[in-house]
Amino acid sequence: AQGYECCPSDCETIYTDDDGDWGVNNNQWCGCGNKKTEPKPIGSCSVNILNQGYECCPSDCEVIYTDNDGDWGVNNNQWCGCGN
């Protein structure tokens, strides 16, 4: 929840601090996800969406698709989770 995206699921941990495990994706720091802690939502959307490496959409999100993981929208040509 520090403005960094989540890494892909096959993330290699390069650095670990109090905030969790960190890797690099597309030459940018990303969170590898720490299985011991719940991810901190960036905004308000389904944790299931965040667990897949997607971000939450802005608050004015238009729901385009809904599945068992939650409501989905698009922001900057990328899928994102709409608030719940």
Q: For position 25, which CATH number holds?
A: 3.90.1220.10
- 12 and 47 fall within a common domain: no
- 43 and 76 fall within a common domain: yes
Can you tell me the distance from the alpha carbon of 36 to that of 52, in angstroms, rounded to the nearest whole number? Answer: 16
The DSSP annotation for 13-74 comes to: P-EEETTEEEEEETTEEEE---TTSPPPPSSS--HHHHHTTPPBPPTTPPP-EEETTEEEEE
- 25 and 48 fall within a common domain: no
- 44 and 70 fall within a common domain: yes
* Domain region containing 12: 1-37
Can you tell me the distance from the alpha carbon of 31 to that of 23, in angstroms, rounded to the nearest whole number? Answer: 6
Would you give per-residue pLDDT tens digits along the chain (84 residues)?
A: 578 889 888 888 888 887 788 888 888 889 887 644 444 445 678 889 888 989 999 888 899 999 999 999 998 899 999 985
